[in-house]
Amino acid sequence: MTSSLLIAEEFTSIQGEGALVGMPPYFVRVAGCPLRCSWCDEPSTSWTPRGERRSVSDILERIGASGLRHVVITGGEPFSQAACVDLANALRVCGMHVTIETSGAVARPELVCDLMSISPKLSHSTPKRRGENLAARHNLLRHNPSLLRTLATQAHEWQIKAVIRATHVEQDVAELEQLLTEADITERHRVFLVPEGVDPASLDANLRTLAAVCMARGFRLGHRLHLSLYGNTPGT
């Protein structure tokens, strides 16, 4: 297999978010993303993509050597590189469980995975940095209800994760609900409200706030377990 991807990093860790929280997967972080989120945890994979060009065959070899059966292809934005399709398909042929973590700004209809994990970006993700027309470019792509629905029906299982600010809970949840309505998505048990924060103290405080919202509105409460375990550290 000769196709390749620009890779920011590969690592093993604990899945910290979503339905498979606590699972130990092999993570493949793809470099590059068309969005420019103001709070991106991996800005180097977005604004100025950098990494190492690696063949799909080499990536498969390292994953096989890890002994893990769950693989998360994340980013950046995995769908920004066409070869992510080759990687995902090859992994599934090998019997691996494949999760794709995507922003919902790009699609690859030919890709098949076991879990499509979609993190649509709300308006508070718009970059504040001036120049390069970043805000306009970001907002043009981040809000796409029809694509969100397409992604949700592309995989065997799917979930949506939305970052909610503790200081603007009602505003952010209302915006999320409007997006779900536009996308004709009614399965709230698949939608995780994820607290904003990068340290255990702020995460725990925000979790308590979101717990009440989830109970009242039928959403699932999301965690960021990896941040509680390891902090905001690359490779975890």
Looking at residue 18, its pLDDT comes to 96
Residues 92-104 have a mean pLDDT of: 96
Q: What is the mean pLDDT of the chain?
A: 91
In order, the DSSP letters of 66-114 are HT-SEEEEESS-GGGSTHHHHHHHHHHHTT-EEEEEE-SS---TT---S
187 falls in which pLDDT band (50, 70, 90)? very high
Looking at residue 45, its pLDDT comes to 62
d(CA 182, CA 217): 18
pLDDT, tens digit, 9 for 90 and up, residues 18-41: 999 999 999 999 999 989 888 776
Distance of CA 187 to the CA centre of its chain: 19
Residues 225-235 have a mean pLDDT of: 77
Q: How far is CA 215 from CA 22, 45, 62, 72, 161, in A?
A: 22, 35, 42, 29, 16
Which residues touch 208 (CB under 8 Å, ≥6 apart)?
A: none
- pTM for the model: 0.92
Second-level CATH architecture of 4-230: Alpha-Beta Barrel (3.20)
Which of 60-64, 131-135, 204-208 is most confident? 60-64
Percent of the chain with pLDDT over 90: 70
47 falls in which pLDDT band (50, 70, 90)? low
Q: What is the domain partition of the chain in residue ranges?
A: 4-230
Looking at residue 235, its pLDDT comes to 72
pLDDT, tens digit, 9 for 90 and up, residues 107-160: 999 999 999 999 999 999 998 876 667 788 889 899 999 999 999 988 889 999
- Does residue 172 contact residue 124 with C-beta atoms inside 8 Å? yes
- Does residue 196 contact residue 164 with C-beta atoms inside 8 Å? yes
66: left (phi over 0), alpha (psi -120 to 50) or beta: alpha
Task: Kindly state the helix (H) or strand (E) to which residue 118 belongs, with its residue range.
Answer: strand 115-118
